[in-house]
Amino acid sequence: MHQASKIICRNLERSISAKQQLLEDTQMQQEFSKAVDLILQSYQSGGRLYLAGNGGSAADAQHLAAEFVCRLSKDRASIPAEALTTDSSILTAIGNDYGYDVVFSRQLEGKLTANDVFLGITTSGNSPNIVKAVEACKEKQVPSIIFTGHGGGEVRSLCDVCVIAPGELTSQIQEVHLVLEHTLCECVEAALFNFKLDLGSSTSDQPLSLKRAA
Ligand SMILES: O=C(CO)[C@@H](O)[C@H](O)[C@H](O)[C@H](O)COP(=O)(O)O
Ligand SMILES: [Zn+2]
């Protein structure tokens, strides 16, 4: 067997295992539902969603913002969302003049208004710029949601809603985050635009894994 075949099988197994753990974790699913509700409330009150993360999670923040602003899979009006990771002039100026730990909080200080909401994505839960972004939200009395891993890290006790993805490795945690991000957009747009959700076989409150076993 080619080395690459072995590695893809190992990685698929790890990814499935992390997702399986979330499938069985009703408490985390409830926490995720709170994140959906907070974002929905913000949009229904005329607010907007700001997102941030580092590395692969910066890409996630941009990916999700694109889906809100453009679309996920159904045609609808644009939903306002902005990733704080895209303007190289702003990022380099803040990083250079004040430090990388405030690249997101400084932007939030200037942008946040009463009905907004923030989603930070950090696999460790310890990235200082995300911690400071959450603190900036607190200052402005704007709710903050964190998608994280590894038990939640430092942000866990600071944010309003903390969705902790299972997984040992950063990459596994990010793969769970991507499912959460697509689901978040699907739930919010369905509620805002009255889309009928295709729930497949997952129509009850019972986790899919338990239904299969029954
Ligand atoms: O995408 C990956 C690894 O899969 C990396 O770029 C990763 O996102 C970076 O190391 C980040 O700096 C990690 O930050 P965080 O998730 O701990 O906040
Ligand atoms: Zn990556």
Domains of the chain as residue ranges with CATH: 3-195 (3.40.50.10490)
Closest C-alpha to 185, from 29, 71, 57: 71
Q: Is the pLDDT of residue 212 over 60?
A: no
CA of 2 relative to ligand 1 center, distance in Å: 28
Distance 179 CA to ligand 2 centre (A): 15
* pLDDT digits 0-9 by tens, 93-121: 999 999 999 999 999 999 999 999 999 99
> Nearest CA to 174 among 72, 83, 63?
63
Residue 26 among known ligand-binding residues: no
Q: Provide ipTM, 2 decimals.
A: 0.99
pLDDT tens-digit profile of 179-196? 999 999 999 999 999 998
Q: State in Å: Cα 59 to ligand 1 middle.
A: 10
pLDDT exceeds 60 at position 79: yes
How would you label 56-75 residue by residue, b for 16+ Cβ within 10 Å and e otherwise? bbbbbbbbbbebbeeebeee
SS3 50: strand
CA 155, CA 27: separation in Å to the nearest integer? Answer: 18
Whether 11 lines ligand 1, by a CB cut-off of 6 Å, is: no
Q: What percent of the chain has pLDDT over 70?
A: 94
